[in-house]
Amino acid sequence: MASTSSGERQPLILLIGPPNVGKSVIFNYLSGLDVAMANYPGTTVNFTEAEASFDNVDARIIDVPGTYTLSASNEAEEVAVRMLDEDPDLVVCVLDGGHMETSIHLALQVMERGLPTVCVVNRIDLLREKGLEIDRGTLIRQFNVPVMMTAAVTGEGMPKLRSSSKLQVFEPEPMQMAFIQAGAVFRRSTSVFQTATCIPRLK
């Protein structure tokens, strides 16, 4: 991992989520203009990294290759797992508002690892088009981590995401999620999805 000019370890933020979920828009919002494309050592998988500045303190931010699961069944998933093994200071887990159940499954796999995590439900505009909404309070209670709601292409919720990411990098809250036994992640993802997804009441 990179270090600052003073020799201190530079904070590392990983942005993880399924393909085509809008991670690149969120990555560009959090990072600066000095963006680099790299090839993960020993693989053919490319990833993007940059520096994100939080009140003049820089953190390294990596857009992890898109993945639906951490089962490491293909090269992109293997790279995602290896990046999570690098002990990041924060994982920003992006959930797809259009495909919440599978996204929740990935989020639970990430949180199993006990890393400081912020969950972002992106593309909430697609949920609204379906006449649905996500109960953010329920997700927070189920995950025990901060949960942000965004529509990255329009900028909705992005300032709050940046503020939350800053706090979690420099003043992280301890993970409180109970250990999930192997094989139980899918069952829990279905339960969380059913509990948190609702049809808004007519006003």
- What pLDDT was estimated at residue 66? 92
- What pLDDT was estimated at residue 184? 46
- pTM to 2 decimal places: 0.82
Taking the C-alpha atoms of residue 185 and residue 112, their distance in angstroms, rounded to an integer, is 9
Q: Report residue 11 as tokens.
A: 């904070």
Which range, 13-17, 48-52, 125-129, 159-163, is most confident?
13-17
- What pLDDT was estimated at residue 186? 43
The amino acid at residue 133 is: E
- Is it the case that residue 188 has pLDDT exceeding 50? yes
Percent of the chain with pLDDT over 90: 32
Q: Would you place residue 102 in the very low, low, confident or very high pLDDT band (cuts 50, 70, 90)?
A: confident
The amino acid at residue 196 is: A
CATH architecture of 12-198: 3-Layer(aba) Sandwich (3.40)
Q: Which of residues 28 and 164 earns the better pLDDT score?
A: 28
Q: Would you place residue 17 in the very low, low, confident or very high pLDDT band (cuts 50, 70, 90)?
A: very high
Ranges 84-88, 112-116, 144-148, 198-202: which has the least confidence: 198-202
Taking the C-alpha atoms of residue 19 and residue 21, their distance in angstroms, rounded to an integer, is 6
Place of tokens 């996500």: 134
Over range 38-49, report the average pLDDT: 84
Q: For the chain, what is the mean pLDDT? A: 80
- What pLDDT was estimated at residue 189? 54
Q: Provide the residue ranges of all domains of the chain, joining segments of one domain with +.
A: 12-198
Q: Quick one: which H or E segment has residue 53?
A: strand 46-54
Q: Which of residues 99 and 44 earns the better pLDDT score?
A: 99
